[in-house]
Amino acid sequence: MRQCNPRPKDQRKVPIPDELRESLREVREVIDEAERDPDDMPIDFEDAIQVGAICGGWVGGDNRPFEFTYFPAGDRKYGRWFLALHETEIEDIADGVISELTMYCCTSPDCHCKFRDESETCVFCDYEDDSETVSLNQQLAALAQTVNSKKEWVAGYLRIKPDASGVSLIGDYNPIDGLGDRLGWFSTPEAQELIDQLRSESGS
């Protein structure tokens, strides 16, 4: 298991990159389309919106009901931004009205992750692995070097973690350097569908 040991974060105003602004313009278009036809364009789950360098969705709540992860070009693993936004903030960032955001930034020299909420924890900085987790991560890193498709990854992953769900698969897949860029990123329904398909094929 991983033990949480949160480290202090640096609160500062961070300029909005052009890539993030452009991605949120696309997000706004998706939201507009969903409002016109909610049955055809559901956005009410955590990775429903995947456009540009953004992945996220509508999670509810009155203050900031949209949550996104922004994966900056050139630093998609250790440079992620974790954003909770109101729809008006999305519009204002997309339109250039908001040029910077107050973020809570990791202070480790190897991590550049940023969080909108001071209470959030960083998967890279704020957790310590026990020996079992270290062993699992080594197995997953070795698997990543041998696969050439998402299906191959899922098949290998299920050999390591037979009881895995789509959510746990994504949680183990996304942090591996270069894997999502090479094979593509999973949505939760896609991950679960591949798990169910492979279990059916194997009769388990």
Following DSSP, what letter does each residue of 87-111 receive, concatenated? HHHHHHHHTTS--EEEEEEE-STT-
Phi/psi of residue 111, nearest 5 degrees: -125, 135
- The pLDDT score that the predictor gives to residue 202 is 84
- The pLDDT score that the predictor gives to residue 204 is 65
- The pLDDT score that the predictor gives to residue 129 is 76
Determine whether 198 is exposed, middle or buried from the number of CB atoms within 10 Å of its CB (0-12, 13-18, 19+): middle
**What residues does 70 pair with on adjacent strands?**
54, 81
- The pLDDT score that the predictor gives to residue 148 is 96
Q: Where are the alpha helices (DSSP H) in 62-178?
A: 87-94, 131-144, 150-160, 166-173
- The pLDDT score that the predictor gives to residue 166 is 92
- 144 touches 153 (CB < 8 A): yes
Report helix, strand and coil shares of the chain as percent, to nearest 5: 40, 20, 40
- Going from the first residue of the chain to its last (204 residues), give the mean pLDDT of each consecutive group of 10, the final group possibly shorter: 84 97 95 80 79 89 88 92 95 96 95 94 87 89 95 95 93 90 91 94 79
- The pLDDT score that the predictor gives to residue 44 is 75
